[in-house]
């Protein structure tokens, strides 16, 4: 939490977050445009924001894209805003306005977590039934996890896995796993409080999720897992709303399971 407050204390870093809030997934060059800062200064500010978990950088080909990670900010809101009377929030008024008056606009959900394990064990945990059941419970997906294969998913806990149109796109053991995501199902309509018209439109959307595994910048942290769920139709996507909190919870459970495993 201290790293987050230190990162937010600098006006230039808040401006970079504002830019990513307006348009997520920008390169260093794009973020530098129009700023009265050198490229080196912007790069240093981004490094501080990454260290605080407020920004996640993901490589796409030769480009390095930067994404706003709202989770730490929401944790600040839960701890320091939700607990106190709103009339006494003078010191946090700017943050309050950012969270309540300017909703996050993001075409993708990107989340980074560090796990003390090996890349091989982490990939195994993403693809083997024994591991998947531990953190997905009875909702665990099934596949042989080869490129082009079907991903089967149960619509109810411990139910028979069904083909919901999901396919494995990339399968590189120890490095990367990508597969398409299912559309909204009838069970989600009630969960999300959607009208028939809203559900009919939203259920056409097909997104995808990617798991990128790499070494942590600090070796003692183990490996870095970046979860990117994107290809949403808009920032107001109900599927985006639905999966964001779910991935944070699953990643946390995955970390706990793997760090209990013998080295």
CATH of the domain at 68: 1.10.10.10
- Give residue 238's pLDDT: 83
Q: Which of 177-181, 190-194, 233-237 has the highest mean pLDDT?
A: 177-181
33 & 149 share domain: no
Residues ≥6 apart with Cβ < 8 Å to 202: 184, 194, 237, 238, 239
Task: Give yes or no for residue 240 having a pLDDT over 90.
Answer: no
- Are 225 and 191 in a shared domain? yes
Domain extent for 158: 109-260
Tens digits of residue pLDDT in 124-147:
999 999 999 999 988 899 999 999
Task: Tell which phi-psi region holds residue 207, choosing left (phi > 0), alpha (psi between -120 and 50) or beta.
Answer: beta
Same domain for 88 and 198? Answer: no
Q: What is the CATH number of the domain that holds 186?
A: 3.30.530.20
For residues 235 and 135, membership in a common domain is answered with yes
Name the pTM for this structure: 0.67
Per the structure, the count of domains in the chain is 2
Q: What does the pLDDT read at residue 109?
A: 85
**pLDDT given for residue 140 in this prediction:** 92
**pLDDT classification of 159: cutoffs 50, 70, 90:** confident
Q: Does residue 148 share a domain with residue 192? A: yes
Residues 132, 248, single domain; the answer is yes
Whether 62 and 162 map to the same domain: the answer is no
Examine the domain organization and report whether 194 and 94 are in the same domain. no
Q: What is the pLDDT of residue 93?
A: 47
Which is more confident, 59 or 40?
40
Confidence at residue 78, expressed as pLDDT on a 0 to 100 scale: 60
Whole-angstrom Cα distance, residue 178 to residue 172?
9
pLDDT grade for 162, boundaries at 50, 70 and 90 = very high
**Sorting pLDDT into bands at 50, 70 and 90, what band is 263?**
low
Pair 148, 209 in one domain: yes
Please say which residue of 42, 66, 100 terminates a domain: 100
**Separation between Cα atoms, residue 71 and residue 67, nearest integer Å:** 12
Angle between helical axes of 238-260 and 129-136 (0-180°, round to 10): 120
Q: Domain boundary residue among 44, 76, 100?
A: 100
H-helix or E-strand spanning residue 55: strand 55-60
Do 146 and 250 belong to one domain?
yes
Same domain, 81 and 128: no
Domain boundary among 83, 100, 117: 100
């Amino acid at each position: 939490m201290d790293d987050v407050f230190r990162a937010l204390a600098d006006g230039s870093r808040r401006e970079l977050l504002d830019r990513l809030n307006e348009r997520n997934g920008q390169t260093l060059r794009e973020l530098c445009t129009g700023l009265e800062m050198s490229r080196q200064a912007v790069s240093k500010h981004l490094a501080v924001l990454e260290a605080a978990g407020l920004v996640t950088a993901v490589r796409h080909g030769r480009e390095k894209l930067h994404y706003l990670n709202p989770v730490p900010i929401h944790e600040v809101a839960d701890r320091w805003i939700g607990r106190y009377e709103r009339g006494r929030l003078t010191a946090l008024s700017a943050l309050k306005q950012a969270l309540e008056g300017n909703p996050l606009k993001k075409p993708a959900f990107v989340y980074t977590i560090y796990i003390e394990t090996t890349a091989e064990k982490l990939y195994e945990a993403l693809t083997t039934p024994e591991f998947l059941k531990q953190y997905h419970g009875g909702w665990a997906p099934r596949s042989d996890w080869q490129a082009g294969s079907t991903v089967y998913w149960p619509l109810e806990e411990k139910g028979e896995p069904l083909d919901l149109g999901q396919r494995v796109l990339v399968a590189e053991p120890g490095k990367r796993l990508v597969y398409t995501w299912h559309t909204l199902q009838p069970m989600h309509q009630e969960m999300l409080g959607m009208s028939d018209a809203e559900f009919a439109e939203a259920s056409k959307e097909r997104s995808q999720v990617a798991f990128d595994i790499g070494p942590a910048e600090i070796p003692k942290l183990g490996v870095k897992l970046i979860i990117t769920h994107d290809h949403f139709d808009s920032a107001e996507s109900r599927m985006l709303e639905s999966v964001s909190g779910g991935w944070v919870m699953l990643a946390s459970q995955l970390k706990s399971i793997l760090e209990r495993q013998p080295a």
